[in-house]
Structure 1
């Protein structure tokens, strides 16, 4: 009898404990399920900027050609490779020594300031021979240039890479259309690269062999084969490609510098740079990481975001009108200079 009573009591105790355990599991299960539903149905984190940047990576393909030398392979060139160069669709360093790890090619040109033009000619010939049909735009930059690739692609997106055009920071010279600053970087369309190689580099009348400044001479060669110097300024007339470090331009452009005689378009002295800036020159070793931090990591709460839609692409007629306008766009600056 006692044993039966004991079993009954123990059964009641165990039953009560199991009931409480079941209620607890059901309660926490409901809470967990509610939380899961709330997470699943909550508005997703906006990814428009990243998505558009990824889309442009595939739709506006840029081959980056960076001018360097063996003594800079492990310093500036390495910094380019680990920062903005990693965002190129393809990155090639133009050097006088092969470097498989870096992606540098030996162009068989002796390292010398007087040979920079010959070196860039060889680099653009190399890009044409191996990659002209694989990419849309071909950027030439120095190893002390920093480029915001997302802004470059956004700027290039409306334009047809089969149009004969190149962009950069435009300088004045003896010929009326000017040329693009090499330090700020300049970008050629696919057709511009094609024309340069098919009609200019093998013709000393259109593209003389000399020791002139690389950027000036390449600009001269391009214009001689019908490549138009495009206008890369923003809607407020501010430059996107900057031939100086921002510290030399901000908060406003200072007059009385060597740049004064080279400006093709008179700058707005009170507002130096475009909000959609593309490149900066004279980048120091520590600048690469600083740019990376402020451009890609620092977030400011509450500020407006960048546009979440892409600009309209120009149709054939609109592109032709742009090219004609740029071709006739002669600066109202002072007389051309002989540099």
Structure 2
């Protein structure tokens, strides 16, 4: 008798847990948002999602493939640090190198290591991502092996946008063509459609995407814009940058007027308040700084402060996305700055 009662109780417990797990995996973005709002008002919530983090849910909802430029000399140093810190939060992490490394997940792109070859290497990297993974992921992030990326903030920023829209995001710089381009050091992210257009219409067309030894970020930006990919605005509602091409020590307490960053940034920098509180990336990360970022972002807690629950932004409709792209395409700088 006791055994039967015990089995029945265990069956009920297992059944309840499986039901909650199903709720977690089938919850829509709108349902998550309403759940988050309810949690913020302290309403009782009895779902597995209430105990899961928004970051966990977004990991499956906004899938990001990370492409990190590196070289064999950095496999056991910088690349290994990326792999053990922020890179572990990518849906898939690929290191673009000139030597295969099964442990690291590095791919030999058959491009010799040279600063003059970074553009050729990046072309090969995007071609590899397109050939093997274009339908498996929503967004394709390019970063250097001295870039640190807060993947949770990246996914939350990208969530409203349709990956089938032709757009890419990053820290926008001025150059000799009016739309500008995205800083390679800060990292830039292509939608699935942007990657598709780059490979189908640009990389095989020297008019749209010329072969040269110029800076890879500028050249990839030129190729994308020639095939109708919009340069999106990734700043927050206060005009503060999310993708940052420098380390925080060079940005805080404020950006110095007249520096190269002040000169080349596409949008006039907020000199006194440089960085969004939902910042996505920092460049020029030294070896010991990867672990510092990890500690301050993921382990340190300030007790006694009210906790704020992040709420998903609304997803844009097709018409809203079209209007956004039209607006971004009209954001033409009144000043061009040659960087060749």
TM-score under structure 1 length normalisation? 0.85
**Helix, strand or coil for the counterpart of 2:303?**
coil
Q: Distance in 2 between matches of 1:306 and 1:201?
A: 45
1:240 matches 2:242:
yes
Verify the 8 A CA contact 1:70 1:96 in the aligned structure 2: yes
Cα offset, 1:257, TM superposition: 2.0
Q: Name the counterpart of 1:84.
A: 86
TM-score under structure 2 length normalisation? 0.84
Q: Distance in 2 between matches of 1:302 and 1:114?
A: 52
Q: Name the counterpart of 2:140.
A: 138
Q: Distance in 1 between matches of 2:58 and 2:263?
A: 36
Count residues in correspondence: 297
Q: 2:164 aligns with which of 154, 162, 165?
A: 162
Q: Name the counterpart of 1:230.
A: 232
Q: Within 5 Å, give how 1:180-199 maps onto structure 2.
A: 180-199=182-201
Q: Distance in 2 between matches of 1:300 and 1:224?
A: 47
Residue-by-residue CA offset, 1:248-281 (whole Å, 9 max, x unaligned): 0001111232223211000111100000000000
Q: Distance in 2 between matches of 1:90 and 1:49?
A: 25
Verify the 8 A CA contact 1:48 1:308 in the aligned structure 2: no
Q: Distance in 2 between matches of 1:323 and 1:82?
A: 36
Q: Name the counterpart of 1:327.
A: 329
Relative to structure 1, the CA distance from residue 134 to residue 261 in structure 2 (aligned partners, 3 Å threshold; closer, same or farther) is same
Q: Distance in 1 between matches of 2:261 and 2:51?
A: 35
Q: Distance in 2 between matches of 1:150 and 1:308?
A: 11
Q: Name the counterpart of 2:298.
A: 296
Verify the 8 A CA contact 1:261 1:337 in the aligned structure 2: no
Verify the 8 A CA contact 1:253 1:269 in the aligned structure 2: yes
Q: Distance in 2 between matches of 1:111 and 1:182?
A: 17
**Helix, strand or coil for the counterpart of 1:194?**
helix
RMSD: 1.8
Residue-by-residue CA offset, 1:58-113 (whole Å, 9 max, x unaligned): 01000000000000000000000000000000000000000000000000000000
Q: Name the counterpart of 1:336.
A: 337
Runs (5+) with no aligned partner, structure 1: 1-41
Q: Distance in 2 between matches of 1:147 and 1:338?
A: 25
For the pair shown, which has the larger CA radius of gyration, 1 or 2? 1
Q: Distance in 2 between matches of 1:43 and 1:222?
A: 45
Q: Within 5 Å, give how 1:258-269 maps onto structure 2.
A: 258-269=260-271
Residue-by-residue CA offset, 1:97-145 (whole Å, 9 max, x unaligned): 0000000000000000000000000000000000000000000000000
